Structure 1
Amino acid sequence: MPTSPIRTVEISDDTIRLGQFLKLADLAEDGTHARELLEDGEVEVNGRPEARRGRQLVDGDVVAVDGQRVRLAARS
């Protein structure tokens, strides 16, 4: 399966929690959907499975869900 291009989403802070980022990046419809994605093992951060909704993401982290990849960019 070919990989999709990486989309970039900017945040106004230096860090963001994974659950919040899933919603911001339109990878999850809402908090409940984000939790379900994480519980079902469908989320990867930097190529590794991640199940912690509270995981702190930083500039450059790449989050993947169902073939969609999004890079976090902290505004300078």
Structure 2
Amino acid sequence: MQEIKLREDYIKLGQALKACGLVSSGIEAKIVIQDGEVKVNGEVDTRRGKKLVDGDIVEFNGETIKVIK
């Protein structure tokens, strides 16, 4: 499980995938999110701009990201 430490109050879903190296670009992030391949807190979320806050869990391609403050 990877962790993302927040610098602000939130990070957007697309940015989180890119920051953890799970996608190589914002365009790739947009595609996998819109295709329903990404789960946030156990549910598919198709919004690239979804704001992730402390405690959120993102799952994609067998990887898990935890957002921490």
- Measured after TM superposition, the shift of residue 11 of structure 1 is 2.2
CA distance in 1, matches of 2:4, 2:10: 12
SS at match of 1:37: helix
Number of matched pairs = 69
Q: Which portions of structure 1, spanning 4 or more consecutive aligned residues, are displaced by more than 6 angstroms?
A: none
Pair member with larger Rg: 1
CA RMSD of aligned residues (A): 1.0
Q: Could you tell me the percent identity over the aligned residues?
A: 39
5+ residue gaps, structure 2:
none
> Are positions 1:31 and 2:26 aligned together?
yes
1:31-68: per-residue Cα shift (whole Å, max 9, x none)? 00001111211100011001000111100101110110
Code of the aligned partner of 2:16: F
Counterpart of 1:60 (choices 40, 45, 55) is 55
> Are positions 1:8 and 2:36 aligned together?
no
CA distance in 2, matches of 1:37, 1:70: 15
